[in-house]
Amino acid sequence: MSRPTVLQVGRFPPRFNERLQRDYQLIRLWEQQDMLAERGAEIDIVVTSARYGCSAEQLAQMPNLKAICSFGVGYDSIAVAEAKARGIPISTTPEVLNACVADTAMGLLIDTARQFAAADQHVRQGKWLKGQYPLTRKVSGKKLGIVGFGRIGKEIAKRAAGFDLQIRYHNRRPDPSTDYGYEADLKALASWADFLVLACPGGASTHHLIDADVLAALGAEGILVNISRGSVVDEQALVAALQAGTLGGAGLDVFEDEPRVPEALFGMPNVVLLPHVGSATEETRLAMENLVFDNLDTFIERGELITPL
């Protein structure tokens, strides 16, 4: 392919933006929101992310689009069915972020159970001078349910085993590669577990998969950890359960309407809130960037993607 025209849907970190600008014939959508109506036919490749996506409406305005390269593993914001119907391949950045996201899941689990973030504030605000921080909950030896036993789910299990956690998982089907217990009934898994970690994809099939009934099954001693997508959890039901004390705690890296987070969660010591930083380390983000560019260059040179969806 001769020098293609690349559409950058949204802003990325400066290093990524500069490399795109330097190496490709680039159109930045956020600088010209109405440009697709005028120049959509020029676009050969879209570069996007789970945050920005690529909608069916946008696809319809790019009749000559040949590929979509996305930063991250989430693809629920991309019109996958419409792209496949037109033979437009999509790449994501799997594998390279597994370790950091799994680390984040375990960090959230431990922080929420032991309330380290709240205990830190107890010290910083001078409250230790007035008394000890309340007792929290042990992590080691407890029961962990993992929802979504793909690449990241398996990495979480590997780390959890080091804490002597009993592990079961829920998936669309049993995974023959593992000896961990499979639970087809999500509510049964929640009822069994002390900790329920979400590592499943987003999208219509998992929308509000964790609803009021699942939260009730997890119970007043249970802790929910979400490093998947905000849409997987019914956020209103989650807030209600935490306020009522029918759920023990939550460690959240993702939310339904990011970056807006329910303010009701802000003052809860049994809730840890992160700004979607599961893969946000220098090493992992550089690996993700490199994989996006590797996909771009390979498609331009050979018409193939390295990590097709």
Q: What is the pLDDT of residues 16-31, one digit of tens each?
A: 999 999 989 999 988 8
Q: Are strands 223-226 and 67-71 parallel, antiparallel or unpaired?
A: unpaired
State the burial class of residue 52 (Cβ atoms within 10 Å of its Cβ: 0-12, 13-18, 19+). buried
Does position 255 have pLDDT exceeding 80, yes or no?
yes
Contact criterion met (CB below 8 Å) for 97 and 284: yes
Arithmetic mean of pLDDT, 34-47: 92
CATH H-level, domain 97-273: superfamily: NAD(P)-binding Rossmann-like Domain (3.40.50.720)
What pTM value is reported for the model?
Answer: 0.92
8 A C-beta contact, residue 4 and residue 295: no
Residue 10 tokens read as 């949204």
Distance CA 168, CA 214 (A): 16
Mean pLDDT of 287-306: 96
Cα–Cα distance measured from residue 194 to residue 222, given in angstroms and rounded to the nearest whole number:
5
pLDDT level of residue 1 (50, 70, 90 thresholds) = low
Supply the pLDDT for residue 249.
98
Closest CA to 172 of 143, 195, 200, 134: 200
Return d(Cα 61, Cα 158) in angstroms, integer.
45
Helix (H, G, I), strand (E, B) or coil at 181: strand
Question: Is the CB of residue 259 less than 8 Å from the CB of residue 230?
Answer: no
Q: Which residues sit opposite 168 in a β-bridge?
A: 145, 181
pLDDT value at residue 30: 80
- As given in the structure block, the two tokens for residue 240 are 């209600």
Residue 142: CB atoms within 10 Å: 19
CATH number of the 5-92+283-302 domain: 3.40.50.720
Percentages of the chain per state (helix, strand, coil), in multiples of 5? 40, 15, 40
Helix and strand element counts for the chain (H, E): 11, 12
CATH 3.40.50.720 domain locations along the chain: 5-92+283-302, 97-273
Q: How large a percentage of the chain has pLDDT more than 70?
A: 99
The whole-angstrom separation of Cα 302 and Cα 6 is 16
Cα–Cα distance between 247 and 220 in angstroms, integer?
4
Active site residue ranges = 229, 258, 276
Distance CA 100, CA 152 (A): 9
Q: Is the pLDDT of residue 11 over 70?
A: yes
Sheet (strand 5-8) strand order? 25-28, 5-8, 45-49, 67-71, 90-91
Query: How high is the pLDDT of residue 228?
Result: 96
- Mean pLDDT score of the chain: 95
pLDDT at 235 > cutoff 80: yes
Tokens 């929101």 belong to 33
Compute the average pLDDT of residues 275-302. 96
Question: pLDDT tens digits for 88-102?
Answer: 999 999 999 999 999
Beta strand segments in the chain, E? 5-8, 25-28, 45-49, 67-71, 90-91, 143-147, 166-170, 181-182, 195-198, 223-226, 249-252, 271-273
